[in-house]
Amino acid sequence: MLASSAEKISNHLEILQLHRENKTKGFTLLELIVVCALIGIMLTISVPSLRSSFFTNPLKSSARQVIGIVNEARQKAVRSHQAYYIHLSQIDNHISYEKVSEANNDKEETETETDDNKKRDLQLPATVRLASIWLQSSGITSENKTSFWISKKGYMEQAAIQLSDESGDSLSVRINPFTDPIAVSEDFPPNS
C-alpha cells in the first residue's frame, strides 16, 4: 500500500510537471491582448504617413515645388540684394529663376558660378502642366513664355499660376506681392 501511495504521488508529480511545462510554452490571453493593442496603435499612427507617401498627388506635389522655387528666388534676392526673374514656360512645362544681370560701368566683374548666381530650373511632371498664368498688371497671359520680376527686397507683382493634371483637376498658386505666404486654392484667377 505504501508502494502504491508513493507510486500515486510520483504520478501526480509527473502530471504536475508536465502541466507546468505545457503552461510555460504558450502565451496567456492577457499577453496576446496587449500585443494586439500595441500593433493596433502602431498601425493607427503609421498608416496615414505611409498612405501619403505611396499615394502622393502629383498636382499637389507640383504646387509645393512651385511654392518652393518662388520662395527660394525671393530669399536669394533679399540675401544677395539683387533682383531676380522668374521665367514660366507653358510650352516646355518649365519654371526657372535667375539673377538679373546688372552692367557695372565703373569696372567689369566676371561673375563666378556661386549659389546666388546659378539658374535654378523646375521641370514639372508629364502629368501636370502650366495651364494659365495671371499677372496683376496684365491679367491672364496668353503668351507661352512669361517672366516676372522680384525686387532685391523680395517684393514682386501679384501673380497666380494655375496647374492642371490629366484628369482635369487644377490648383492655383497665388503669389502675393510682399512677403505674405503663398496660398494654394482652386479658384483662378484669384479674387483681388
Q: Give pLDDT, residue 41.
A: 93
pLDDT in tens, the chain (192 residues): 556 777 877 777 777 676 666 555 678 899 999 999 999 999 888 887 777 666 678 888 888 888 888 888 888 999 999 999 899 988 888 899 988 886 543 333 434 445 555 677 888 888 888 888 888 888 887 678 888 888 888 888 888 889 998 888 888 888 888 767 788 878 777 665
Question: Can you tell me the distance from the alpha carbon of 161 to that of 173, in angstroms, rounded to the nearest whole number?
Answer: 5
Model-level pTM?
0.63
Rg (the chain; Cα; Å): 33
Q: Is 52 exposed, middle or buried (0-12, 13-18, 19+ CB in 10 A)?
A: exposed
Q: Determine the pLDDT at residue 19.
A: 64
DSSP state of 43: H
Give the alpha-carbon dihedral of 38, 43, 46, 48, to 10 degrees: -140
Q: Which residues pair with 149 in a beta bridge?
A: 85
Which pLDDT value is given to residue 32?
A: 92
pLDDT given for residue 110 in this prediction: 39
Class of the CATH domain delimited by 58-100+115-185: alpha beta
